[in-house]
């Protein structure tokens, strides 16, 4: 059973209950700890901040609001390299016939190994952050990378990818079509695709990328424990293909079982493939086609990752399709904190969860949605700001110049 609610141009699907979920073994605590151990072997690895917005939480009437700030990840201003680095490492381990548990990042930089992998070319499609992460990892290993971006991509993001060593191009295709282009080019040229969505015959690398993202979920739990909190009661997770959202939710489902946090999946309205799949209510992934227009470039994906769609299908409570003003609102709130709260620079694809949360807590018209999600004065809410100002001009236009509205009212 589910209910569908439409208010303020925002569409909500709320499930009455979660029944017969399938727990994803590849996101077990044991597997995620192995992933994190690999990341720990990287010189650039540092735990990113978990910011507690205590003043905002008090103002909005909840116990805690935590935001995991991924703008500090590897100096790349976004979380995506967590997946790309681990997937490339796993691929190389398979190629070199070694156990990933015995491999560190430094192992791949030994002269003997570098000679074996020097001619490898890694290819991917991206709006910016994933491609930059793949290019960065490939460059550090002495390998080449080729990156294709969908039409309308930021020239700033293109340049950032090129600066870390990739050949990068903006296509005249949308994101999903760009993925297919990469697949064709790789087959023709002998490149290795590093993509965070799967298709028939291409499952291992997307699975490894998804595992890589779980490091930030594990970090967040450890940081909450240090703050005296056992677990979040709610998580707001933005989704493109759904790999990062599925990674976080799948890991928490394994850790907490029947006490899994109430999860809300948030997407831009013109690229809401997870929402569309939940609306169909047949258990299958459904596609969104067309231009996928949104300022949330990192979420402009029309085809769910089949692997992580099953996690989101089985464990999420809410699915939300929302217009761009919701993320603009979140960016401004995070960038202009109240009281003693810490400032967070959150990009267009990083702030939509926080933006939605504030609307739920402030708008009387959304009170019924808040109640169905069981958000109250005891709630401990976790959001992930998955990128910083990866397009500084766009960030300034939204946060400082007021170019985009932050409310429908």
For the record, the structure tokens of 248 come out as 């976080």
Is there a catalytic annotation at residue 144?
Answer: no
Sole residue written with tokens 């899994």: 260
User: What would you report as the CA-atom Rg of the chain, rounded to the nearest whole angstrom?
Assistant: 20
Q: CA 22, CA 28: separation in Å to the nearest integer? A: 12
Say which of 127, 196, 314, 391 is annotated catalytic: 127
Q: CA 28, CA 405: separation in Å to the nearest integer? A: 41
Q: Are the C-beta atoms of 265 and 245 separated by less than 8 Å?
A: yes
- The phi and psi torsions of 67 (rounded to 5 degrees) equal -130, 120
Mapping DSSP onto H, E and C, the string for 316-381 reads CCEEEEECHHHHHHHHHHHHCCCCCCCCCCCCCCCCHHHHHHHHHHHCHHHHHHHHHCCCCCCCEE
Distances 319 to 264, 356, 370 between C-alpha atoms, Å = 6, 12, 13
Count of other CB atoms within 10 angstroms of residue 362 = 13
Is there a catalytic annotation at residue 80?
Answer: yes
Q: CA 313, CA 274: separation in Å to the nearest integer? A: 8
Strand pairing category for 318-322 and 10-15: antiparallel
Mapping DSSP onto H, E and C, the string for 11-46 reads EEEEECCCCCCCCCHHHCHHHHHHHHHHHHCCCCCC
Say which of 15, 80, 140, 144 is annotated catalytic: 80
Instruction: Please list, in sequence order, all residues whose beta carbon lies within 8 angstroms of the beta carbon of residue 1, skipping any fewer than 6 positions away.
Output: 15, 16, 17
Count of other CB atoms within 10 angstroms of residue 308 = 32
Query: Would you list the DSSP string of 208-254?
Result: HHHHHHHHHHHHHHHHHHHTT----SEEEEE-SSSHHHHHHHHHHHH
Distances 154 to 45, 361, 394, 405 between C-alpha atoms, Å = 27, 33, 9, 20
Give the residue numbers marked as catalytic.
Answer: 80, 127
């Amino acid at each position: 059973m589910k209910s569908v609610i439409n208010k303020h141009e925002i569409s909500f699907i709320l499930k009455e209950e979660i029944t017969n979920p399938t727990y994803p073994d590849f996101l077990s605590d044991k597997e995620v700890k192995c992933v994190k151990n690999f990341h720990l072997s990287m010189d650039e690895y540092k735990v990113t901040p978990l910011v507690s917005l205590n003043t905002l939480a008090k103002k909005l009437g909840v116990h805690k609001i935590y935001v995991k700030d991924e703008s500090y990840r590897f100096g790349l201003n976004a979380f995506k390299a967590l997946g790309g680095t681990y997937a490339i490492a796993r691929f190389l381990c398979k190629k070199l016939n070694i156990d990933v548990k015995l491999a560190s990042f430094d192992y791949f930089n030994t002269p003997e190994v570098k000679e074996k992998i020097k001619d490898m070319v890694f290819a991917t499609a991206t709006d910016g952050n994933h491609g930059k992460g793949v290019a960065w990892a490939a460059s550090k290993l002495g390998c080449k990378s080729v990156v294709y971006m969908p039409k309308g991509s930021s020239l700033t993001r293109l340049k950032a990818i090129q600066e870390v060593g990739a050949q990068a191009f903006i296509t005249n295709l949308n994101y999903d079509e760009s993925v297919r282009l990469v697949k064709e080019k790789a087959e023709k040229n002998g490149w290795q695709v590093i993509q965070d969505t799967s298709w028939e015959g291409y499952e291992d690398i997307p699975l490894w990328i998804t595992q890589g993202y779980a490091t930030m979920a594990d970090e967040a739990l450890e940081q909450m424990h240090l703050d005296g909190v056992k677990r979040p009661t709610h998580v707001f997770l933005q989704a493109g293909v759904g790999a990062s959202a599925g990674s976080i939710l799948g890991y928490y489902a394994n850790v907490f079982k029947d006490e899994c946090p109430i999860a809300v999946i948030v997407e831009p309205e013109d690229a809401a493939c997870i929402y569309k799949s939940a609306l169909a209510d047949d258990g299958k992934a459904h596609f969104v086609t067309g231009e996928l227009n949104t300022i949330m470039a990192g979420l402009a994906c029309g085809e769910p990752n089949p692997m992580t769609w099953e996690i989101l299908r089985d464990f999420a409570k809410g699915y939300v399709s929302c217009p761009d003003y919701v993320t603009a609102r979140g960016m401004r709130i995070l960038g202009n904190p109240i009281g003693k709260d810490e400032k967070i620079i959150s990009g267009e694809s990083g702030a939509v969860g926080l933006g939605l949360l504030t609307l739920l807590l402030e708008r009387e018209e959304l009170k019924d949605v808040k109640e169905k999600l069981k958000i109250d004065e005891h709630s401990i809410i976790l959001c992930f700001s998955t990128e910083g100002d990866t397009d500084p001009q766009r960030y300034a236009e939204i946060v400082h110049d007021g170019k985009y509205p932050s409310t429908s009212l």
